[in-house]
A and B are shown apart, each in its own frame.
Chain A
Amino acid sequence: MMTNSARDDHRILDSSDANGSAPGGSSDANGSMGLAGSAGGAEIDLISEEFEERNLHGLRQTVTAHAATVLTGDRVADMALIAIELASNAIRHGGGRGRLRLWTTPDAIYCQVTDDGPGFPTSKYPAVRRPEPSASGGRGLWLVLHFSDALTVDNDVDGGATVTAMITTGDRRSPRKS
């Protein structure tokens, strides 16, 4: 799953990678269509805003409020953490600022962060292996991978990176159990 060609910096991962368990192979069909967000469907935009470091607190509050309308239980906090990790990553490594989009489809919620930084070096791709307890970093993006149901990382040809995380919401007409 992490063996896409080096030239095409586009990877699709599903959560089974993060857990290091089930061999992948099915994520593209589910993941790339939805994550690309280009295939018709009933998309509803929830957030689209620029951010920098001083906005992190408010950004988390906003994402939490919107996520709580489609997710339940600890998945709301999962999405808030995902958003903050992606935004922090753009602030710290992607030029100090970025744009966050949050949107829903009938069965999922997506969080996408775009920055104008140097792009993701291959070494910075979310590690599939969990960082060791004594490791100095790498946990933020690993947690994003672990808590999302699918994740893509795209480097723009002109520089900059776009990271999109998805959490499934199931059929919202019936209450979700968890």
Chain B
Amino acid sequence: MADASRVEDLRPGDHACLTFSDGEERLDLVAAIVRDGLRSGQRVLCVTDTLSQVALTGELTGRGVALGNVTDSGQMRVLRTAETFLADGSFTAQRVVDLFAAQISQAATDGFSGLCITSDMSWALRPVAGLDQLMNYESRLTDLVADTNATAVCQYDRHSFDTVTLAGVAAHHGFAVAAATYHDDAFLRICRQYQPPGIRVSGEIDYRRAEPLTLALTEALALDDHMYLNLAALDFMDGSIAGVIMQAAASLGGNQRMTVRCQAHAGKVFHALGLPDLSNVTVVVNDDQ
């Protein structure tokens, strides 16, 4: 899984293993997968485990994925683990593969260009009967979607699953998908955010990590007309880092915009430095602390 692909590289026929570090990152990647699936005319089927159907829909909508019409039209479907992987209280690889095979046919019958299935695999962290069939399931899912217009993306928490399971699971997927990461250690994670597009920084950061942040911002500014800098999970930044962000904001092109979401004290620092006064920049302070 060293050379993880990006979400936008997913194609019909792919069976991908998506790994994530926390709930925010998972939902960001799922939002991008749902967005791309809907745009390409596929039906999107989300299997949710940790969140209720309503909560998942709310999280996706909050990330800018419009779901109202596509839910009414049947292009977007959200199913629970209890209706899929654990339909009769235990897991059977054959039953789930049969279920998804039927969904692939149904999507074609209903006039969609294909089916995009993305599943929260957190249920496999619980002591579920039939869990020994997990590798068998993943292997058969690869065969099922190959040469079809379907895409399957299975979501695994890289910190919750043990390394043996993760390695086994990864081996049964065509390829791996993960957020492009610029820095990752015990204190700080800097990664690409896919929906809305931009950069996400979590933990704490000071002058020693100005370089990976500068690289991340530079790449995002080259890609995004409206760049979102998500600092909601950033607990501390020093003046040098605030400076890196100020300089990025000052370099925005005429048609570019930047939205910064941050905690209260970072908001105070940005305000003092004049970030909200720049044209094309919006600073949003999260108050949920």
Q: Is A53 an interface residue (CB 8 A)?
A: yes
Q: Which of A57, A85, A136 is in CB contact (< 8 Å) with B239? A: A85
Looking at the assembled complex, report how far the CB atom of B268 sits from the nearest CB atom of chain A, in whole angstroms.
Answer: 6
Q: Is A46 an interface residue (CB 8 A)?
A: no
Q: Find chain A residues with CB under 8 A from B208 CB.
A: 53
Contact across chains for A92 and B204 when beta carbons are under 8 A apart: no
Q: Given A92-B207, A133-B247, are A143 and B239 also a contact pair (CB < 8 Å)? A: yes
Q: Is the interface of B mostly helix, strand, loop or mixed?
A: helix
Q: Is B273 an interface residue (CB 8 A)?
A: yes
Q: Find chain A residues with CB under 8 A from B116 CB.
A: none
Q: Is B243 an interface residue (CB 8 A)?
A: yes
Q: Find chain A residues with CB under 8 A from B278 CB.
A: 133
* A115 to B249 alpha-carbon distance, docked (Å): 34
Q: Is A10 an interface residue (CB 8 A)?
A: no
- Shortest Cβ distance from B275 into A: residue: A133
Q: Is the interface of A mostly helix, strand, loop or mixed?
A: helix
Contact across chains for B243 and A131 when beta carbons are under 8 A apart: yes
Q: Find chain B residues with CB under 8 A from A56 CB.
A: 206
Looking at the assembled complex, report how far the CB atom of B154 sits from the nearest CB atom of chain A, in whole angstroms.
Answer: 36
Binary contact readout A80-120 vs B (1 if CB under 8 angstroms, 0 otherwise) = 11001100100010000000000000000000000000000
Q: Given A77-B265, A88-B206, are A133 and B250 also a contact pair (CB < 8 Å)? A: yes
Q: Is A11 an interface residue (CB 8 A)?
A: no
Q: Find chain B residues with CB under 8 A from A37 CB.
A: none
Q: Find chain B residues with CB under 8 A from A60 CB.
A: 236
Q: Given A60-B236, A133-B246, A134-B251, are A139 and B265 also a contact pair (CB < 8 Å)? A: no
Q: Given A77-B265, A88-B206, are A136 and B243 also a contact pair (CB < 8 Å)? A: yes
Contact across chains for A143 and B269 when beta carbons are under 8 A apart: yes
Q: Find chain B residues with CB under 8 A from A139 CB.
A: 239-240, 242-243, 246, 273
Q: Which of B238, B249, B275 is in CB contact (< 8 Å) with A81? A: B238
Q: Is A66 an interface residue (CB 8 A)?
A: no
Looking at the assembled complex, report how far the CB atom of A128 sits from the nearest CB atom of chain B, in whole angstroms.
Answer: 14
Contact across chains for B265 and A140 when beta carbons are under 8 A apart: no
Binary contact readout B219-246 vs A (1 if CB under 8 angstroms, 0 otherwise) = 0000000000000000010111011001
- Shortest Cβ distance from A142 into B: residue: B239
* A70 to B53 alpha-carbon distance, docked (Å): 46
Q: Is B68 an interface residue (CB 8 A)?
A: no
- Name the residue among B239, B242, B250, B265 with the largest chain A CB count within 10 angstroms: B239
Contact across chains for A85 and B243 when beta carbons are under 8 A apart: no
Q: Which of A77, A130, A137 is in CB contact (< 8 Å) with B240? A: A137
Binary contact readout A124-162 vs B (1 if CB under 8 angstroms, 0 otherwise) = 000000111111110111110011000000000000000
Interfacial residues, chain B to chain A (CB-CB below 8 A): 187, 204, 206-208, 236, 238-240, 242-243, 246-247, 249-251, 264-265, 268-269, 272-275, 278
Known: A53-B208, A135-B243, A140-B238. 10 other contacts (CB 8 A): A84-B206, A84-B236, A131-B243, A133-B250, A133-B274, A135-B246, A139-B240, A139-B246, A139-B273, A143-B272
A-B contact pairs, 18 of them (CB 8 A): A56-B206, A77-B268, A81-B238, A85-B238, A85-B239, A88-B206, A88-B207, A88-B240, A133-B247, A133-B250, A133-B278, A137-B240, A137-B243, A139-B242, A139-B273, A142-B239, A143-B273, A146-B272
